[in-house]
Amino acid sequence: MNILNTPFDTLFNTAPFSKIKDVDFLPAFKLAIDNAKAEIDAITHSEDAPSFENTIEALEFSGQQLDRISSIFFNLNSAETSDNIQKIAQEVSPLLSEFSNDITLNEDLFKRVKAVYDCKSSLNLPTEQDTLLDKKYKSFARNGANLSEDKKQKLREIDKQLSQLKLKFGENVLAETNNFEMLITNEDELSGLPEGELEAAKQLAESKNQEGWLFTLDYPSYIPFMTYADNRELRKKLAIAAGKKAFKGDALDNQDNVLQIAKLRFERAQLLGYKTHAHFVLEERMAKTPEKVEAFLEELLEKAKPAAAREFQELQDFATELDGITQLEKWDSGYYAEKLKQKRFDLDDEKLKPYFKLENVIDGAFKVAQKLFGLEFEEINTIDKYHEDVLTYKVTNAKGEFISIFYADFFPRAGKRNGAWMTSYKPQYIKNGTEERPHISIVCNFTKPTKTKPSLLTFNEVTTLFHEFGHALHGMLANTTYPSLSGTSVFWDFVELPSQILENWCYEKEALELF
């Protein structure tokens, strides 16, 4: 029996990463889709009159095995991918897209959902159930349930193409990031770079059996080089390489992918009765309309542009005075902004980094969570990890009750995309009177420890960690009945509120003194 299709016999029901093989995924997906289809059929062909329980709630809790497999697989595809995983993703994504359409375009199922929705006012549902009913109905209505048969078929074709194009786009960006290396063998060309960055670059070169100092497009390598390297030509080389990722007219080029995605999104929106893709998306956001977003952006532009122009001119004058640079380029701004900051404020991020040892910052984030929410974090090594760099924690509340499993994955590697994000391997929900607690993860790309130095963060990286930890807390502290309403399953512009609020503690003396 495929391990992915059976209940996990693990501590806290965590994913058994070490026991899952790549070849398990495709058959597991196919079986889980078949099982989910059987659940949907049972709801659709029920002889009982449609009710909230036998239609909306049953629909909500259908396909849970498929959801769990999907969360494990696509999280790995972002954080620990491989050629195998990417190939499977290209096969699986159209199957999932087709299955999703099988639900939303199922006329008989929609009739049952609509029957419950139409008598919504007389049901007197509690707020959470009322919200779930609203979301379920809209997910059908917004995604083609009311279309004619020929248009439904067209929608299926579009969704299948989109699922593959979006994956291909991400694969190309990751491949391009991994493909670029800038090896420097002349020490004179490293002028300006801090000692820690030089040691990291030398260690990276050694790990690839090369002599010298190796720089890549991974953020912990790219950002310091663009900020501190005195050699303008090398900064230019790195900046252009970053800007040309998947934009060279070769096998990894994304130009046509972007164009096709944009065209298909527009075509899909029009098919569904919306003016543009933006109108479709924003209907389910706090902003509501493109017009409101445009007005907001125009107002920001009006207020910010004069200050930006003044600051840019100041930077230009400073670069001219310092080095005779008459035209600031993309590869100059970070370098001269840092120089100007040091001159004006005597503030150097590199001098701050020893205060922000990664382990201390993690501890500080945990202490802030303890003071704000009464949470305790205990590192445990009795659950499976998908990579040796991942840290794992058991989270409890002040009463000692289990709250969440927390995974933290901090360093760049070939199988991980750039950036920082929060995700989950298992949502929180309550089913048949039993509460399931969530498994939450944050993924970042910070500077790895070297032979002589621990991982030291810039202040910007400290705020990034707190930001993602804010999302993680949103997921960990979830307290709802239904998985699709749980944790970060809120409007996508609102989802940034808890994370941005938590960043504020990075600027508070009381919080900083904790670590």
**Tokens 């396909």 map to which residue?**
63
Amino acid 429: pLDDT: 98
Q: Which of 402, 373, 343, 322 is closest to 12 using CA atoms? A: 402
The pLDDT confidence band at residue 26, using thresholds 50, 70 and 90, is: very high
Amino acid 348: pLDDT: 86
> Which of these is catalytic: 60, 197, 338, 468?
468
Average pLDDT on 43-70 reads 98
State the CATH architecture for 354-512. Orthogonal Bundle (1.10)
Q: Which of 393, 514, 402 is closest to 442 using CA atoms? A: 393
**Tokens 């543009």 map to which residue?**
276
Mean model confidence pLDDT for the chain? 97
pLDDT score of 223 more than 90: yes
> Which H or E run contains 232?
helix 232-243
Helices marked H in 452-514 — which ranges?
A: 459-476, 496-503, 509-512
pLDDT in tens, 185-197: 999 999 999 999 9
Amino acid 350: pLDDT: 87
d(CA 230, CA 238) in angstroms, rounded, equals: 13
Annotated catalytic residue 468: yes
d(CA 164, CA 201) in angstroms, rounded, equals: 36
CATH number of 8-104+106-142: 1.20.1050.40
106: its two tokens: 């199922």
pLDDT score of 347 more than 90: no
Say which DSSP state 492 is in.
T
Contact partners, residue 348, CB within 8 Å, separation at least 6 = 338, 341, 342
3-state SS assignment for residue 425: strand
Q: Assess contact for 230 and 325: CB atoms under 8 A.
A: no
d(CA 140, CA 133) in angstroms, rounded, equals: 11
Chain centre to alpha carbon of residue 81: 15
pLDDT in tens, 411-424: 999 999 999 999 99
Say which DSSP state 490 is in.
S
d(CA 459, CA 319) in angstroms, rounded, equals: 25
Q: Which of 62, 135, 121 is closest to 485 using CA atoms? A: 135
Backbone angles phi, psi at 394, to 5 degrees: -100, 130
Q: In the chain, count H helices and then E strands.
A: 20, 9
Residue 53 CB neighbour total at 10 angstroms: 11
The per-residue b/e assignment along 131-164, b for 16 or more CB within 10 angstroms, e otherwise, is: ebbebbbebbbbbbbbbeeeebebbbebbbbbbb
Chain centre to alpha carbon of residue 254: 20
Q: Assess contact for 493 and 394: CB atoms under 8 A.
A: no
Q: Assess contact for 17 and 441: CB atoms under 8 A.
A: no
d(CA 407, CA 265) in angstroms, rounded, equals: 34
Contact partners, residue 497, CB within 8 Å, separation at least 6 = none
The pLDDT confidence band at residue 217, using thresholds 50, 70 and 90, is: very high
Say which DSSP state 273 is in.
T
d(CA 10, CA 427) in angstroms, rounded, equals: 17
52-57: Cβ within 8 A, 24+ apart:
52/116, 52/123, 52/125, 52/129, 52/133, 55/112, 55/113, 55/115, 55/116, 56/113, 56/116, 56/129, 56/132, 56/133, 56/136, 57/129, 57/132, 57/482
Average pLDDT on 65-94 reads 97
The pLDDT confidence band at residue 240, using thresholds 50, 70 and 90, is: very high
Domains of the chain, by residue range, sit at 8-104+106-142, 177-284, 297-345, 354-512
pLDDT score of 1 more than 90: no
